[in-house]
Amino acid sequence: MFQTSGSRSSYAAGARAILPLSPAVLLFGASFGVLAQSAGFDPVASIAMSATTFAGSAQFAAVSVLGAGGTALAAIAAAVLLNARYGPMGLAAAKAFRGGRPRRALESQLLVDESWALAQQDGRFDIRRMLGAGLVLYASWVGGTALGVAVGSSVGDPATLGLDAAFPALFLALLVPLVHSRRALAAALAGGGIALLLTPITPAGVPVIAATCGVLFGLLPERRREHEARETRARPARQGRPCPGEATS
Amino acid sequence: MSTAWIAVLCVGVATVAIKAAGPVLAGERELPLRTGRMVALVGPALLAALVATQALTTDEELVLDERGAGLVAAAGAIALRAPLIVVVLVAAAAAALLRVIT
């Protein structure tokens, strides 16, 4: 599992991989800036929120609640609920973080859906890819917010360009290689199913957290045939790179 | 302090804490085998939930719209082993095109 070379290229690979999506992130950041202004945020508050919270859905939820005349408490509750998914995400990535607590705490701030998803590599979490992608996303998001605050409502609607369809496509493309066992497939189907079932009946944010229950399939004993198949598949890779999921499943 | 600033500060502090919790508190510990096997499935479970909610829901409703069509197009591109950027562009183009037509 030691990585002897290419640490720099790993950061760069993360940054490169997310680059095609950064215009979309910039535009969504800009539309957040516009929405926040119209909800009564001063320019500094809008940008400060993007710089500290750095999580699109929660920020949109908070300013929407306030813009519709909701209380601060309702806005905070909605946003925190939406961001609760970063708990299990951070836990799943925890082992990959290096260094002391301050460094871990700082680096964990670059954890967002997209950087977390891009760091899933061959069954392990590549922290450098996460950080490379996270930095690009952070610059695009905060820069986009500033742009929206400055330019105002002349910023176009990202949906016209189909950019809202880009994110689920990204997540699907990153999900497919992770589904390499029956248990992973069961966890994915359960996660997606739970999220859809709960959407109409629970507050926003709950469906995605509840989807974490899909991991309970990890408690199932591995089928013998599947185990053998994986062993056979894994053998040629033994001498070279670490094989997918070997350490954990 | 304005309502906006109260929200900015509280949401900011809470989010920073949530993101840091796992890496700071659980990073150095070796997880028991069973827990490790479950943690390995957080990826598939949550990514599938993100796909489902971002493509098929708006606010608290299930919606089938251009994003769903974009997702189908993306699935086709993935099946053809297209690179990530192509998958994403195909989805965006399909959704944008449908919005122009309809």
Domain boundaries, chain A: 7-178, 179-249
* CB atoms B4 and A40 under 8 Å: yes
Phi, psi of A237 (to 5 degrees): -85, -10
Give mean pLDDT, residues B1-30: 91
H helical segments located in chain A: 7-18, 22-38, 43-52, 56-67, 72-83, 86-93, 101-108, 113-118, 127-151, 166-175, 182-198, 206-210, 224-234
**In contact, A123 and B40? CB cutoff 8 Å:** yes
Residue corresponding to tokens 């640490």: A7
pLDDT tens, residue by residue, B40-67: 899 999 999 999 999 999 988 999 999 9
pLDDT tens, residue by residue, B18-34: 999 999 998 777 778 88
Contacts of B52 in chain A (CB under 8 A): 191-193, 195-196
Cα distances from A225 to residues A215, A221, A235, in angstroms, run 21, 12, 16
pLDDT of residue B30: 75
DSSP-derived secondary structure for A49-66: HHHHT--HHHHHHHHHHH
Q: What's the longest Cα–Cα distance across chain A?
A: 62
Signed CA dihedral, B73, A55, A90, B52: sign only: negative
**In contact, A126 and A119? CB cutoff 8 Å:** yes
Residue corresponding to tokens 């299930």: B62
Those residues whose C-beta lies under 8 Å from the C-beta of residue A54, and which sit 6 or more positions away, are: A109, A110, A112, A138, A141, A142, B15
Signed CA dihedral, A146, A136, A165, B102: sign only: positive
pLDDT tens, residue by residue, A139-188: 999 999 999 999 987 777 888 889 899 999 999 998 998 898 999 999 99
Q: How far apart are CA B49 and CA A190, in angstroms?
A: 9
Read off the pTM: 0.83
* CB atoms B15 and A88 under 8 Å: no
Contacts of A36 in chain B (CB under 8 A): 4
pLDDT of residue A244: 41
**In contact, B31 and B39? CB cutoff 8 Å:** yes
* ipTM computed for the complex: 0.93
A183 in contact with chain B, both atoms CB, cutoff 8 A: yes
Q: How far apart are CA A18 and CA A207, in angstroms?
A: 26
pLDDT of residue A128: 96
Phi, psi of B61 (to 5 degrees): -125, 150
Signed CA dihedral, A203, B15, A51, A70: sign only: positive
Residue ranges of chain A with pLDDT lower than 50? 1-5, 234-249
Give mean pLDDT, residues B3-26: 96
What letter does residue B62 receive in the DSSP assignment?
Answer: E
What letter does residue A99 receive in the DSSP assignment?
Answer: S
Candidates A108, A121, A198, partner chain B, best to mutate (most B CBs within 10 A): A108
